[in-house]
């Protein structure tokens, strides 16, 4: 039974590759099985809900990978500013370099939006939960609690990484200015 997680991971990776190649709408359970080198029955054994469950599992799998990378990137940061600067830069790069996300945004954005909406509450909770310990050491603006500040920052971060506007999140000076003038200015005293 030790090989089971490997098979599940192989199916997830194969599905990811199929979506990168053909998009969400054209990827089938059969495609994923063929790419993974397993039978359809094996895919259904791991994902009894079929294609919808498989796609949702791939989204969750990618979330876990991303947040693992994010943790590695900000681990060791000594200030909230540094956490936000490192995190924003990594997140923006990750979005731009993510082959499946870019393929789906290009070919079928209407399929991606519901998935992102469903995952957005989870994402806000993960980000804000991560920020709470850093905010606990900061002097917050009057009337702003730690959890309110974390929620605000999480929502703003998501907004900026998907649509940075006038900020170049590939330029450290721009990221630092954004963190100071727009993000932290809204929560710190």
Distance CA(47)–CA(63), nearest Å, equals: 18
Considering the domain boundaries, does residue 169 fall inside one?
yes
Q: Is residue 117 part of a domain?
A: yes
Give a yes or no: residue 82 inside a domain. Answer: yes
In this structure, what CATH number is given to the domain that contains residue 34?
1.10.10.60
Please give the model's pTM, rounded to 2 decimal places: 0.79
- Give the alpha-carbon dihedral of 124, 129, 131, 136, to 10 degrees: 140
Quick check: is 70 in a domain? no
CA distances from residue 41 to 34, 45, 47, 50 in whole angstroms, order as listed: 11, 6, 10, 10
Neighbours of 158 (CB within 10 A): 16
Q: Which of 110, 115, 73 is nearest to 94 (CA)?
A: 73
Domain count, the chain: 2
**pLDDT tens string 136-157:** 989 999 999 999 999 999 999 9
Asked if 53 and 102 sit in the same domain, the reply is no
Q: Give per-residue pLDDT as tens, 8-57.
A: 999 999 999 999 898 888 899 999 999 999 999 999 999 999 999 998 89
Task: Let me know whether 53 and 85 are in one domain.
Answer: no
* Cα–Cα distance measured from residue 161 to residue 155, given in angstroms and rounded to the nearest whole number: 10
Q: Are both 17 and 95 inside the same structural domain? A: no
The boundaries of the domain holding residue 5 are 1-57
Phi, psi of 188 (to 5 degrees): -95, 155
User: How sure is the predictor about 73, in pLDDT bands with cuts at 50, 70 and 90?
Assistant: very high
Looking at the structure, do residues 49 and 111 belong to the same domain, yes or no?
A: no
Q: Backbone phi, then psi, for 76, in 5-degree steps?
A: 95, -5
**Cβ within 8 Å of residue 106, ≥6 positions away:** none
């Amino acid at each position: 039974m030790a090989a089971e997680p490997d098979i599940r991971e192989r199916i997830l990776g194969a599905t990811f590759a199929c979506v990168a190649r053909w998009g969400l709408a054209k990827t089938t359970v059969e495609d994923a099985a063929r790419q993974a080198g397993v039978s359809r029955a094996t895919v259904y054994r791991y994902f009894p809900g079929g294609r919808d469950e498989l796609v949702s599992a791939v989204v969750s799998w990618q979330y876990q990978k991303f947040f693992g990378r994010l943790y590695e990137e900000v681990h060791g940061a000594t200030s909230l500013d540094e956490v936000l600067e490192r995190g924003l830069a990594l997140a923006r790069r990750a979005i731009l370099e993510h082959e499946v996300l870019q393929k789906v945004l290009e070919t079928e954005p209407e399929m991606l939006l519901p998935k992102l909406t469903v995952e957005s509450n989870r994402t806000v909770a993960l980000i804000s939960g991560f920020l709470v310990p850093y905010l606990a050491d900061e002097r917050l603006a009057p009337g702003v609690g730690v959890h309110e500040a974390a929620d605000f920052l999480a929502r703003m971060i998501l907004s900026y990484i998907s649509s940075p506007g006038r900020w170049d999140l590939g330029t450290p000076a721009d990221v630092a200015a954004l963190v100071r003038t727009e993000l932290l200015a809204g929560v710190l005293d």
